Structure 1
Amino acid sequence: MPVLGHTQYGKAEVRVVRVFRDTDPHRIADHNVSVALSGDFADTHLTGDNSGVLTTDAIRNTVNAFAREAGDAVGAPEAFGRALARHFTAVPQVSRARVRIETYPWRRLEHDGQPHPHAFTRDGGHTRTTTVTATDDGGGWTVSGVAGLVVLKTTGSEFHGFHVDRYTTLAPTTDRMLATEVSAQWWHADDPADWNDSHRTVLGALTSAFAGHHSLSLQQTLHHVGVAVLTAGPGIGEIRLSLPNKHHLLVDLSPFGLDNPGEVFHADDRPYGLIEGAVRRDDLPDPGPAFAGW
Structure 2
Amino acid sequence: MTPATRLGQNQYGKAETRVVRVTRDGTTHHVRDLNVSVALSGDMEAVHRSGDNAAVLTTDTTKNTVFALAREHGIASPEDFGLLLARHFVAGQPTIHRARIRIEEYAWERIPTPGEAAHSFVRAGGGTRTAQITFDGRRAEILSGLTGVTVLNTTDSEFHGYLKDRYTTLPETTDRVLATDVTAVWRHAHDGTGAAGAAPDWDAAHAAARAYLLDAFATTYSYSLQQTLFAMGSRVIEELPGVEEIRLSLPNKHHFLVDLEPFGLANEGPDGAVYFAADRPYGLIEATVLRDGAEQRVPVDLTAPWPGGPA
The TM-score bracket by the shorter chain reads over 0.9
- Are the structure 2 counterparts of residues 16 and 289 from structure 1 closer, same or farther at C-alpha, using a change threshold of 3 Å? closer
- Which residue of 2 is the match for residue 232 of structure 1? 239
Residue type at the aligned position of 1:146: L
* 2:273 pairs with 1:263: yes
* 2:104 pairs with 1:85: no
Q: What is the aligned-residue identity percentage? A: 53
Aligned positions of 1:125-204 closer than 5 A: 125-136=126-137, 138-190=138-190, 192-204=199-211
Q: Which residues of structure 1 form unaligned runs of 5+?
A: none
Aligned positions of 1:100-139 closer than 5 A: 100-111=102-113, 117-136=118-137, 138-139=138-139
Aligned-pair Cα RMSD in Å:
2.0
Residue type at the aligned position of 1:105: A
TM-score, L = length of structure 2: 0.89
- Residue pair 2:27, 2:116 contacting (<8 A) in 1 also: no
Q: Which residues of structure 2 form unaligned runs of 5+?
A: 191-197, 302-308
Residue type at the aligned position of 2:280: R
- Residue pair 1:192, 1:198 contacting (<8 A) in 2 also: no
Q: Which has the higher contact order (CA 8 A, sep 6+)?
A: 2
Matched residues in 2 for 1:9 and 1:180: separation?
34
- Which residue of 1 is the match for residue 58 of structure 2? 55
- Residue pair 1:109, 1:116 contacting (<8 A) in 2 also: no
Greater strand proportion: 1
Matched residues in 2 for 1:274 and 1:115: separation?
48
Greater than 3 Å deviation, 4+ residue runs:
285-294
- How far has the Cα of 1:218 moved from its partner? 0.3
- Residue pair 1:20, 1:26 contacting (<8 A) in 2 also: yes
TM-score, L = length of structure 1: 0.94
3-state secondary structure, aligned to 2:118: strand
Residue type at the aligned position of 1:185: V
Deviations 1:109-166 (A, max 9, x none): 1235x99611000013200000000002x11210000000000000010000001111
- Which residue of 1 is the match for residue 220 of structure 2? 213
- How far has the Cα of 1:264 moved from its partner? 1.1
3-state secondary structure, aligned to 1:75: coil
- Are the structure 2 counterparts of residues 127 and 218 from structure 1 closer, same or farther at C-alpha, using a change threshold of 3 Å? same
Pick one of 99, 102, 110 that aligns with 2:101: 99
* 2:85 pairs with 1:75: no
- How far has the Cα of 1:184 moved from its partner? 0.2
- Residue pair 2:180, 2:253 contacting (<8 A) in 1 also: yes
- How far has the Cα of 1:234 moved from its partner? 2.2
3-state secondary structure, aligned to 1:211: helix
- Residue pair 2:16, 2:37 contacting (<8 A) in 1 also: yes
